[in-house]
Amino acid sequence: MELYELNLSDAIQGLKDKKFSASELFASCKARIDKLEPEIHAFITRTDSTPPAETSGLLAGIPTVLKDNLCTKGLRTTAASKILGEWRPPYDATAWAKLKEAGAVLMGKVNMDEFAMGNTCGNSAFGPTRNPNDLSRVPGGSSGGSAAAVSAGYVPFSLGSDTGGSIRQPASFCGVYGLKPTYGMVSRYGLISYGSSLDQIGPFARTVKDLQLVMSVISGHDPMDSSSFRDKDHDFTHREDVSVKGKRVALVKEFQSFTLDAPIAEAMAKTRKVLEEEGAEIVEVSLPVVARYAVACYYALAMSEAHTNLERYDGVRLGYTVKDAAGIKEMFERVRSYGFGPEVKSRIIAGTCLTEPTRCEEYYVAATKVRTLIAQEFTRAFGECDFILQPASPSMPWKIGENDEDELKGYEADLYTLPVNLAGLPGLSFFAGYAGNLPVGLQLIGPRWSDPALLDTGVILERHLGSPKIANGGK
Ligand code: GLN
């Protein structure tokens, strides 16, 4: 076994027992990256030129990568956009500062859809990333680079962000575990904003135990993010003696008539059986507003927030600029026309229309009301069940470029993930087996702050459904 193949907890143990050194682990991961990166293209910026100095802490000497919308002090952070140019943030994102403090070693910043808008990792100014399980297919997005890096064995864990599914969908496409934590569980300080009321940072790893380890490091209150939680700390300790006996796991009634790709439907049936055998009761909950309006509600809100958040990229304060413009208007025009890609531009325009004074009530404000109804619907549902089981995506990873023409179809593909962000809930994307060489992932959702319980259930699912293998480009 090569060192890059070790999952996070085994790598930590091996380093502790001095079976190998941090430099050896680093060298193994670096060689793996060198070998596969020309085909996978997960990186925007590599930083793996120097082996780690001796460090201490829970993650001492563990290589990792970060989605390129997480600020890294002095290191180029692009959000996969030309508009940020060679911007080097003057501070670290809190989640990264915590990993660094725990001894993690950064191998680089990885690809994503520009400003996290998309679900293919193809809306990047740096070109698309390929799915390590099948190089002709998308890795999912927007955190496609973070998922691909873990799946290909570059690093044992990574961080991404999830505004409407950007951790859970790529995790399921690449065959790794991914957690979108409860809104407020992880500080958003230093995360480049997309939709601030929806954005949340979370981990990718090849086992549930590894997600628990990373969550124990990155979660917690941060005075720099007033939306991060202030009450007690949450306990992410890994336990083997967990059970779902007597727990009620719900399927969503309205989703039952929606079409799923066959491997996903089969995985749903298999997972349901596993849960029943473990003593859980399978029930049904009804989420009519979610089923009918969540996609429209999400995109109205996400685009409205994005248009406000992206106002700051004006060529004056940070990132790409032009020096020879005839006036301020021409400068804004040239900077923003060149700097943003087509998807980002179309969302800024849509967001501007949705919040424009004469339409704001009818669209933006209406969407905020629908959002409240959606949150209430989930609260009611969680009165009748402990968790909800559903796909992370209705389809298996598609071929690169396949759905690019049909924007709406792309938006609708987020139906199973984005309601979770609208209600601020945690969602776990878990590995549920293979269909040929492609992994199949599903999703388990819980009430707010149930992240530890969700991961405990993930441990049981992993025991029955198996852990994913490191992907080799489909070879
Ligand atoms: N695909 C969704 C969007 O484009 C979600 C992206 C995300 O979670 N960042 O908005």
Q: Is residue 43 in a domain?
A: yes
Does ligand 1 lie within 6 Å of residue 166's CB atom?
Answer: yes
| Nearest Cα residue to 258 out of 410, 404, 416, 428 | 416
**What b/e string do you get for 126-148 counting C-beta neighbours within 10 Å, with b at 16 or more?**
bebbbbbbbbebbbbbbbbbbbb
Ligand 1 touching residue 300 (CB < 6 A) = no
The SS3 assignment for 448 reads coil
Q: Is 335 exposed, middle or buried (CB count within 10 Å of its CB: 0-12, 13-18, 19+)?
A: buried
29, 3 in Cβ contact below 8 A?
Answer: yes
CATH number assigned to the domain comprising residue 109: 3.90.1300.10
- How many of the other CB atoms lie within 10 Å of CB of 288? 12
Looking at the domain assignment, is residue 275 inside a domain? Answer: no
Q: Please check whether residue 290 lies inside any domain of the structure.
A: no
**pLDDT of 407:** 77
Residue 398 alpha carbon to ligand 1 centre in Å? 17
CA distance 147 to 158: 8
pLDDT for res 159: 99
Is 446 part of any domain? Answer: no
Task: Calculate mean pLDDT across residues 30-46.
Answer: 98
Confidence of residue 35 (pLDDT cuts 50, 70, 90): very high
Q: Identify which of 402, 347, 351, 341 has the alpha carbon closest to the alpha carbon of residue 140.
A: 402
Ligand 1 atom closest to the CA of 298, numbered from 1:
10
CA nearest 173: which of 326, 375, 398, 344? 398
Quote the ligand 1 centre to 116 CA distance (angstroms). 6
Q: 3-state class of 175 per DSSP?
A: coil
| Catalytic residue chosen out of the listed positions 142, 151, 216, 429 | 142
For the residues 111-118, what does the mean pLDDT come to? Answer: 98
Residue 141 has pLDDT above 70, yes or no: yes
Q: What percent of the chain has pLDDT over 90?
A: 93
pLDDT above 90: residue 53: no
Residues with Cβ < 8 Å from 268, sequence gap 6 or more?
251, 260, 389, 390, 391, 442
How many whole angstroms from its chain centre is CA 60? 24
Atom of ligand 1 nearest to the CA of 143: 9
Query: Would you state the pLDDT for residue 143?
Result: 98
Cα–ligand 1 centroid distance for 298 (angstroms) = 9
Residue percentage of the chain with pLDDT more than 70: 100
Residue 406's pLDDT band, with cuts at 50, 70 and 90, is: confident
Residue reference for tokens 């981990």 = 203
Long-range contacts of 361-365 (CB under 8 A, 24+ apart): 363/300, 363/304, 364/300, 364/301, 364/304
Range of the domain at 177: 3-244+454-465
Query: What mean pLDDT do residues 203-225 have?
Result: 97
pLDDT tops 90 at residue 55 = no
Q: Is residue 343 assigned to a domain? A: no
Distance (Å) from CA 301 to ligand 1 centroid: 12
Domains identified in the chain, total number: 1
Q: Does residue 468 carry a pLDDT above 70?
A: yes
Domain membership of residue 223 (yes or no) is yes
190: left (phi over 0), alpha (psi -120 to 50) or beta: left
Cα distances from 413 to residues 23, 39, 115, 392, in angstroms, run 42, 26, 19, 9
Number of Cβ within 10 Å of residue 331's Cβ equals: 18
State the catalytic residue, choosing from 143, 166, 193, 304.
166
The candidate with the shortest Cα–Cα distance to 236, out of 453, 74, 471, 472, is: 453
Q: What is the pLDDT of residues 150-208, one digit of tens each?
A: 999 999 999 999 999 999 999 999 999 999 999 999 999 999 999 999 999 999 999 99
At residue 317, does pLDDT exceed 90?
Answer: no
Mean pLDDT of the chain: 96
- The helix/strand/coil state of 452 is helix
Q: Which of 30, 67, 98, 100 is catalytic?
A: 67
Indicate whether 78 belongs to any domain.
yes
Instruction: Indicate whether 100 pLDDT > 90.
Output: yes
Ligand 1: residue of 179, 192, 194 to mutate (most ligand atoms within 8 A of CB) is 194
| 328 domain-assigned | no
Residue 457 has pLDDT above 70, yes or no: yes
What is the rounded distance in angstroms from the CA atom of residue 118 to the CA atom of residue 140? 9
pLDDT at 325 over 70: yes
| Per-residue confidence band for 231, with pLDDT thresholds at 50, 70 and 90 | confident
Cα angle, residue 381 at apex, residues 453 and 409 outer, rounded to 5°: 95
pTM of full prediction above 0.85: yes
For residues 79 and 68, the answer to whether their CB atoms sit within 8 Å is yes
- Alpha-carbon distances, residue 146 vs 300, 403, 404 (angstroms): 27, 22, 21
Sheet holding 200-205, edge to edge: 43-46, 105-110, 63-67, 157-162, 200-205, 177-180, 427-435, 438-445, 387-391, 248-252, 281-285
Residue 172 Cβ < 6 Å to ligand 1: no
Of 334, 358, 336, 332, nearest in space to 347 by CA: 336
C-beta 118 within 6 A of ligand 1: yes
Q: How far is CA 475 from the centre of its chain?
A: 26
